[in-house]
Every structure is written in structure tokens, then in C-alpha cells.
């Protein structure tokens, strides 16, 4: 039975980008498991999506910064063979300098953006690989390739998401697997992350022409998925920039494989 059903899991579905993923995946006929902390938001979204699209929607209230709650989610995911898509979207930004950051802010970003995403990926990946089907979408950020003075920890977590995803993509390609992993790097998107209480920066402080709607972001990301992209940057017009970045990265890595110190470091 599970083989004929298709369920998508979306973390951080109670607002912003995650809520739009939930909507778009429901429109594509997926039953949903929606995860976040705010039960009221999840229930309201579940009611709307099940009515609008006629899909089954379950909600799972979990604080993914907490190991026990992640374990609860892992348990659900590990025992549901109908899961075909995991959107690792839940994320937290605390944009402030290290001097102004608390250790709790740092811990929370690492726990949610890195640890929970890794654990949920580890949970679904073996079953996807065994069935040779399934899609993981990891939401990183353009701040995976750029660190500001105020984004050291956040950028570090998103660089992890990018590199973690790229390694798994190589692994899947080497195994000629049909399992897909797409990593999405949104730029500034109009969501609740841009509030004093979350990132510490209100949306009004950003260049207004740099902000994308969450709907445009997710629709572009899904268009990238449909095109077979591994890395999708919804706001980048010139896609050659991404291939140039990858080429430079590969060239730099290859140049490290010499076994000898570079001449500028040798005593003359």
C-alpha cells in the first residue's frame, strides 16, 4: 500500500518558505506531514490544504532544537514507507556579531540548521536508497557562500548544509541512484525570519529590491528541481556564475594535491 502512496515531509511548515512548500507539494498530490513548534499554525494550514487539495495532512509538533523531539520525528519518518519527499526547511537565523551573540543563539542555530537536518536526512536516506526513489530538498541560503560580520554562525551552518548536500549528491551519483537531493540557496525572502525576534533584523531594513516573495522562491526552487538541478539559487539570473564558482572550487582543491609546500613558503 505504502508503495502507491506518496507523502512529503516539510519541516518548518508553520510559516514562510516551509508553508509554501507544503502548499505546492499538496497541489502536486502529496499527502503531507507538517512539522514545527506552533501547533495552531500547523493545524490551520493542515485544514486549509486538506480541504483545498483533498490530500491527507498530519501535523507533528516538535522542537527540532531538542534531541528528544528530533528522535520523535525520526521514529515517525523511519516507520512510514510512503514518504517520498523530505524538505529540510526549518531554520533559524540570529544575525549578530559574535561579540553580541549568546552561546544559546549559537547552540540553537547549530542544533536546528545542522544537527536536526543531518539527523532527518540520515533517517530517510537509507530507505530512499533501498527503494531507489525519493527526493530530499535541503534549504540552505546564499549565506552559505558569503559570511558577513553578523552571520558567522548562521553562514557556517548554511555552508555545512551546502557541503553536506554536495557530498551526498556525489555519493548518489557514484551509486547511479535515482534518489535526488537538491540544495536550495534562497537570497532575502519575505518571511518571519526577518523580524527583531528572530534574525534581529526587520524586513524593512533590507534593500527592498533584493527581497523575493516566499511563493516566488519556492516556485523557482521547484522549477529547478523539475529541471534536475542539484543546486538551485532562485534569485541568480546568470546560472553560469554557479558553474564558474564550482569550477573555481574544483580547481582550487585540485591545486592542493601536490604534497609539497608552495614555493612562496619555502626558505630560499
Ligand X SMILES: N[C@@H](C=O)C(=O)O
Ligand Y SMILES: NC(=O)C1=CN([C@@H]2O[C@H](COP(=O)(O)OP(=O)(O)OC[C@H]3O[C@@H](n4cnc5c(N)ncnc54)[C@H](OP(=O)(O)O)[C@@H]3O)[C@@H](O)[C@H]2O)C=CC1
In the complex, the smallest distance separating the C-beta of residue 148 from ligand X, rounded to whole angstroms, is: 10
Residue with cell 520525528: 73
Judged by beta carbon, residue 186 or residue 224, the one nearer ligand X is: 186
- 199's contact among ligand Y, ligand X, none, with CB below 5 to 8 A by partner kind, is ligand X
Size of the site for ligand X (CB under 6 A): 7
C-alpha pair distances (Å), 52 with each of 44, 45, 55, 66: 12, 10, 8, 33
Catalytic-labelled residue, pool 30, 53, 154, 160:
154
- Binding-site ranges for ligand Y (CB under 6 A): 12-18, 36-38, 41, 62-65, 89-93, 112, 139, 141, 186, 188-189, 191-193, 198
**Does 199 engage in binding with ligand X (CB under 6 A)?**
yes
The SS3 assignment for 25 reads helix
Residue 153 corresponds to which cell in the numbers above?
554562525
Largest CA distance in the chain: 76
- 74's contact among ligand X, ligand Y, none, with CB below 5 to 8 A by partner kind, is none
- 134's contact among ligand Y, ligand X, none, with CB below 5 to 8 A by partner kind, is none
In the complex, the smallest distance separating the C-beta of residue 62 from ligand X, rounded to whole angstroms, is: 21
Count CB-CB contacts under 10 A for residue 226: 8
SS3 readout for 77-125: HHCCCCEEEEEECCCCCCCCCHHHCCHHHHHHHHHHHHHHHHHHHHHHH
Residue 252 corresponds to which cell in the numbers above?
582550487
Is 160 a residue of the active site?
no
In the complex, the smallest distance separating the C-beta of residue 160 from ligand X, rounded to whole angstroms, is: 13
Residue with cell 522562491: 217
Measured between alpha carbons, how far is 1 from 110 in angstroms, rounded to an integer?
Answer: 37
Mask: binding to ligand X, 150-189, rule CB under 6 A, as x and -?
--------------------------------------x-
**Does 139 engage in binding with ligand X (CB under 6 A)?**
no
Judged by beta carbon, residue 85 or residue 90, the one nearer ligand X is: 90
List, by residue number, the catalytic residues: 154
Amino acid at each position: 500500500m505504502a508503495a502507491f502512496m506518496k507523502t512529503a515531509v516539510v519541516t518548518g511548515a508553520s510559516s514562510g518558505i516551509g508553508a509554501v512548500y507544503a502548499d505546492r507539494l499538496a497541489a502536486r498530490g502529496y499527502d503531507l506531514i507538517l512539522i514545527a513548534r506552533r501547533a495552531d499554525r500547523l493545524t490551520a494550514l493542515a485544514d486549509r490544504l486538506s480541504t483545498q487539495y483533498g490530500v491527507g495532512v498530519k501535523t507533528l509538533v516538535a522542537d527540532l532544537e531538542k534531541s528528544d523531539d528530533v528522535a520523535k520525528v525520526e521514529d515517525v519518518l523511519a516507520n512510514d514507507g510512503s514518504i517520498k519527499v523530505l524538505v529540510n526547511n526549518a531554520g533559524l537565523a540570529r544575525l549578530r556579531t559574535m561579540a553580541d551573540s549568546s552561546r544559546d543563539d549559537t547552540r540553537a542555530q547549530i542544533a536546528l540548521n545542522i544537527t536536526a537536518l543531518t539527523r532527518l536526512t540520515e533517517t530517510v536516506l537509507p530507505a530512499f536508497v533501498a527503494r531507489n526513489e525519493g527526493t530530499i530538498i535541503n534549504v540552505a541560503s546564499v549565506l552559505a557562500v558569503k559570511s558577513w560580520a553578523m552571520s558567522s554562525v548562521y553562514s557556517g551552518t548554511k555552508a555545512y548544509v551546502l557541503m553536506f548536500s554536495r557530498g551526498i549528491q556525489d555519493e548518489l551519483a557514484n551509486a547511479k541512484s535515482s534518489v535526488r537531493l537538491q540544495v536550495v540557496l534562497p537570497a532575502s525572502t519575505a518571511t518571519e525570519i526577518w523580524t527583531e525576534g528572530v534574525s534581529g533584523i526587520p524586513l524593512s531594513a533590507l534593500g527592498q529590491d533584493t527581497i523575493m516573495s516566499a511563493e516566488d522562491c519556492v516556485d523557482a526552487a521547484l522549477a529547478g528541481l523539475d529541471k534536475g538541478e542539484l543546486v538551485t539559487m532562485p534569485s541568480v539570473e546568470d546560472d553560469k556564475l554557479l558553474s564558474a564558482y564550482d569550477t573555481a572550487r574544483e580547481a582550487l582543491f585540485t591545486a592542493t594535491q601536490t604534497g609539497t609546500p608552495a614555493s612562496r613558503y619555502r626558505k630560499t
